[in-house]
Amino acid sequence: MGRKKHPIYAVVATDERNPRDGKYIEDLGRYYAVDEPVRVELQRDRILYWLSQGAQPTDTVRSIFSRHGLMLAANLRRKGKSEAEVEEAVQAFLTQRADKQPRKRTVADQRRDALALERQEASKREVENAKARAEAEAKAEAEADAARRMAAEERLRQKEAAAAEAKAAQEAANAAQAGAETPAEAAPAADAAAEAPAETPAADEPAAGETNAS
């Protein structure tokens, strides 16, 4: 049954003398061995009926029946347990087995985990990229601040140098102007000193004349 690479097995009641795929008495269910998770469809009441009639399942079928509590139910019925007791015992068995048996990972589980991991990696990369961008922006801003400070300091140095140069030029101009004004004021005094000896003999001449007359 089924199709290529996807077989479906039939669970049937048959005479042991019949060939494996030959005529059977009753169809009791299906076993989907390659599904994820494995699926089993069983007619529980009819299987318990045939077991009560002495039917002997093959090893594979017995394993399937045991996993689903059918062999336990058949044994409890043979011991005379009531249906309520049988059902309670089977449910307890199935619950205990489910708790102990790890859940098999299906293709869907693997795909979901892969997508979750991919989203996690993408989120991690986004965080790293955001951090890198923030660091680059902070570095660029720090470099820009440093450049602005250097430019401001350079402008201040240039302004101070220009002010100092202008002050020096002004002082030099003032000194030159002061040096030019001082000789012009000293010239009249020198002229007066030069003229004084010429006036003294003129004053002495009459006295000499008077001496000679006596």
SS (H, E, C) 49-105: HHHHCCCCCCHHHHHHHHHCCHHHHHHHHHCCCCHHHHHHHHHHHHHHHHHHCCCCC
Residue 211: per-residue pLDDT: 45
Tally of domains within the chain:
2
> Is 156 inside any structural domain?
yes
Rounded to a whole number of angstroms, the distance between the first and last alpha carbons of the chain is: 186
pTM equals 0.45
Do 85 and 9 share a domain, yes or no? yes
> Is 134 inside any structural domain?
yes
Give the structural domain span for 22: 2-104
Amino acid letter for position 184? A
Do 122 and 160 share a domain, yes or no? yes
Structural domain ending residue among the three candidates 64, 84, 104: 104
On the question of pLDDT at 212 being above 50, the answer is no
On the question of pLDDT at 154 being above 80, the answer is yes
What is the CATH classification number for the domain harbouring 67?
Answer: 3.30.1320.10
DSSP secondary-structure letter at 25? S
On the question of pLDDT at 160 being above 70, the answer is yes
The two tokens of residue 85 are 């007791």
Do 153 and 73 share a domain, yes or no? no
Over the stretch 46-105, which tens digit does the pLDDT of each residue have? 999 999 999 999 999 999 999 999 999 999 999 999 999 999 999 999 888 877 766 666
> Is 153 inside any structural domain?
yes
> Is 188 inside any structural domain?
no
> Is 198 inside any structural domain?
no
Q: 54: alpha, beta or left, given left = phi > 0 and alpha = psi -120 to 50?
A: left
